[in-house]
Amino acid sequence: MSGPAGEEPSAAAGAAGATGGEPSVMGEPSAAGRFGDFGGRFVPESLVLACEELEEAFRSAWADPEFHRELDDILRDYAGRPTPVTECPRLSERLGIRILLKREDLTHTGSHKINNVMGQALLARRMGKGRLIAETGAGQHGVATATAAAYFGMECVVYMGAVDTERQELNVFRMELLGAEVIPVHSGSRTLKDAVNEALRAWVARVGDSHYCLGSVMGPHPYPWMVRELQRVVGTEARAQCRAILGGADPDWVVACVGGGSNAAGTFSGFVDTDAILVGVEAAGGAAMSHGVPGVVHGMMSYLLQDEVGQINEAHSISAGLDYPGLGPEHAHLSAIGRARYATADDEEVLRAFKLLSETEGIIPALEPAHALAWVVRHAGNEIPLGSTVMITMSGRGDKDVAQVRELLT
Ligand SMILES: *Cc1c(COP(=O)(O)O)cnc(C)c1O
């Protein structure tokens, strides 16, 4: 093992619920919820108790084999796990590097988000809570949470910026179809960051019967840790599947797109103790890690898109799912210690990658993971040496994006 991860005992051991001692890379955060300088719990007193109660409940559930058994059954029988790792022979030939895809696009609802929401809903039920609160930007996490609520027979309330409810009418309808109530948020810029604030407020107001099902590896402790653990299944499966395909070897590169960072965190957790180079790819117009500054938002210390007077800037890209103005604190830490690299892809190369994968492999990707592919395409044969093996997490399928891409290409 190379790099700063080398001095750590074992990422896997740290993940299972070790207490005290030095936090391992992608193991548990510190008691204060810190990943190095990042993370923490920057919330008003009224939210501290809710976060503490949630942390305790998750800690106990995650150490309980019965909880894992039940979650694994749900992920297998309802969500469609395990998802395969697919070789891409034609694309590989074109690029001169060997491409493997981890197929989260094949899950029920079509993205990795299902792993997080089914885990949190199961946890909510264990906590005796029958109501889920969620924030959503483009609507994908709202739809996923509404799906989980329907599965568990729970009430579901989704906060969504008023600008987004107009832009994403179809997803509003989907959520309502699934039995959820969608509440448009009219404060601030009336987009995702305001929806998160509103959802946090709504949680405090009804913490007795409600669980806040946060959508990525962000927010106050324990969310970044808990959501990464719920997405760990992506990396754990992929690690074993790659080894089976590669005769016991690991990929040279592991690449995933980063919005808040949950599919990347889940993927990286499976490979952090290998020699693989880990790369997180942000949208050029929403690159909190690449173009942001450290700061506090939504209860965490991380990198943010912020102007000179500390106002959060909005993220803009072709892909609404990557338009979060910050990213998870653990990514800020992985970058700081040099264990993962963060890069960007712009709209134009993303569109080309979207077409390329569709034509060469018969897989229409979501625009989010098309960012990861676009970065790989740009670097194949230069930074990524010819003959390398690259695993990319295909975080979701492209059906939701086809109409938009059609407009952009014609
Ligand atoms: C929501 C979403 C993302 C971005 O979220 P992360 O937390 O960064 O994983 C990426 N890909 C797809 C398909 C999504 O739906």
Q: Which of 103, 105, 111, when mutated, tests ligand 1's pocket best, judged by the most ligand atoms within 8 Å of its CB?
A: 111
- What residue's CA is closest to ligand 1, atom 5? 259
Task: Pick the atom of ligand 1 nearest to 262's CA.
Answer: 7
pLDDT in tens, 217-260: 999 999 999 999 999 999 999 999 999 999 999 999 999 999 99
Report how far residue 166's alpha carbon sits from residue 172's, in angstroms, rounded to the nearest whole number.
9
* 113 pLDDT more than 50: yes
Domains of the chain: 35-73+112-223 (3.40.50.1100), 82-111+232-409 (3.40.50.1100)
Span 21-34, average pLDDT: 87
CB 135 within 8 A of CB 102: no
Say how far apart CA 28 and CA 43 lie, in whole Å.
20
Residue 308 has pLDDT above 90, yes or no: no
Q: What is the pTM of this model?
A: 0.94
Of 263, 317, 323, the one to substitute when testing ligand 1's pocket (max ligand atoms within 8 A of C-beta) is 263
- pLDDT > 90: what percent of the chain? 86
The three-state DSSP-derived secondary structure of 363-400 is CCECHHHHHHHHHHHHHECCCECCCCEEEEEECEECHH
Q: Is the pLDDT of residue 322 over 60?
A: yes
3-state secondary structure of 277: strand
Residue 263 CA, ligand 1 centroid: distance in Å = 6
pLDDT at 19 over 70: no
Query: Is residue 15 predicted with pLDDT exceeding 50?
Result: no
Residue 342 has a pLDDT of 97
**Interval between CA 357 and ligand 1 midpoint (Å):** 18
Q: Which two tokens stand for residue 320?
A: 């609404």
* Position 173 pLDDT exceeds 50: yes
What is the position in ligand 1's atom list of the atom closest to the CA of 265?
Answer: 9
- pLDDT for the residue numbered 22: 54
Question: Is 264 within 8 Å of 26 (Cβ atoms)?
Answer: no
Res 326: pLDDT: 87
Site to substitute for ligand 1 among 112, 171, 350, most atoms within 8 A of C-beta = 112
Q: What percent helix, strand, coil does the chain show, rounded to 5?
A: 50, 20, 35
The region of weakest confidence among 18-22, 25-29, 30-34 is 18-22
Whole-number Å distance, alpha carbon 258 to ligand 1 midpoint, is 7
pLDDT value at 329 more than 60? yes
Per-residue pLDDT averaged across 393-404, rounded? 96
pLDDT of residue 23: 64
Please give the structure tokens belonging to residue 182. 């969608």
Position of tokens 């896997």? 12
Tell me the backbone φ, ψ of residue 137, rounded to 5 degrees. -100, -85
The reported pLDDT for the residue numbered 10 is 39
Q: What is the per-residue pLDDT across 257-291, written as a single tens digit (0 to 9) for each?
A: 999 999 999 999 999 999 999 999 999 988 888 88
Which residue's CA is minimally distant from atom 13 of ligand 1? 396
The span from the CA of 38 to the CA of 258, in Å, is 17
Instruction: Name the nearest CA neighbour of 300 among 27, 40, 3, 6.
Output: 40
Q: What is the pLDDT of residue 16?
A: 39
Per-residue pLDDT for 396 more than 70?
yes
Centre of ligand 1 to C-alpha 9, Å, is 30
Residues whose beta carbon lies within 6 Å of some atom of ligand 1: 111, 113, 140, 216, 257-264, 321-322, 366, 368-369, 395-396
Residue 88 annotated in active site: yes
Query: Exactly one of 88, 156, 242, 257 is catalytic; which is it?
Result: 88
Beta bridge partners of 171: none
Q: Identify the pLDDT of residue 310.
A: 77
Catalytic residue among 51, 68, 108, 112: 112
Per-residue pLDDT, 259 = 95
| Residues 104-132, mean pLDDT to the nearest whole number | 98
7 Cα to the center of ligand 1, angstroms: 31
pLDDT confidence bin for 314, thresholds 50/70/90:
confident
Q: How far, in Å, is the centroid of ligand 1 from the Cα of 111?
A: 8
The answer to whether 264 touches 326, Cβ cutoff 8 Å, is: no
Residue whose Cα lies nearest atom 7 of ligand 1: it is 262
Determine the 3-state secondary structure of 136 from DSSP: strand
